[in-house]
Amino acid sequence: MDAEQEPRWLDAVEQQTWFELIAVMSWLPDALDAQLSRDADISHFEYQVMAMLSMSAQRTRRMSDLAALANGSLPRLSRTIDRLDRRGWVTRRPDPDDGRATLAVLTDAGWEKVVATAPGHVAEVRRLVIDPLTKAQVRQLHEIANRIRHAVQPDACLPTLPAPDGP
């Protein structure tokens, strides 16, 4: 910033909005972690990794792609895959199309874990994020989150889901 240019300070409403967003960003991950740890004995990141694999073709993804989808570094993902592998939920195998790449594969036991864990996780997401909002606010939150994500990480990828039913 130019030394002579005055900063664009936040007004009272903008500052309060920022504080609310910071609180959500700080407390929501802890709340989701607590539910998953209590009910399924896994962390939110572990669940994200397994859920991303469950939504992938043949329940398989390249480690580098999976790290990007789960918003984690390759070393963090590798340690997580090690833990999930020890529990029999995920395995690794070489990518037959590129010998330098490694694939993460959700096992049948991992699929069963995701299926068993998903209802409780969705209920908690619903309780904490969706149900306190109106349908219009959910759509607004989607647009707001999308715009912020693009500002923060324009090239980030998200899992592709089927188009929702209805308007």
Q: What is the pLDDT of residues 28-45, one digit of tens each?
A: 999 999 999 999 999 999
110 contacts 97 by C-beta, under 8 angstroms: no
Give the strands of the sheet with 60-62, arranged side by side: 60-62, 98-106, 90-95
Residues above pLDDT 70, as percent of the chain: 92
Q: Which CATH architecture has domain 23-152?
A: Orthogonal Bundle (1.10)
50 contacts 114 by C-beta, under 8 angstroms: yes
Q: What is the pLDDT of residues 87-132, one digit of tens each?
A: 999 999 999 998 889 999 999 999 999 999 999 999 999 999 999 9
Q: Look at residue 163 in the predicted model and tell me its pLDDT.
A: 42
The answer, yes or no, to whether residue 159 has pLDDT greater than 70, is no
Question: What are the domain boundaries of the chain?
Answer: 23-152
Measured distance between the N- and C-terminal CA atoms of the chain, rounded to whole angstroms:
44
Q: What is the pLDDT of residues 63-95, one digit of tens each?
A: 999 998 888 899 999 999 999 999 999 999 999
| Residue 94 parent element (H or E) | strand 90-95
Q: Angle at which helices 74-86 and 44-54 pack, to 10 degrees?
A: 80
Residues above pLDDT 90, as percent of the chain: 80
Give φ, ψ of 165 to 5 degrees.
-80, 145
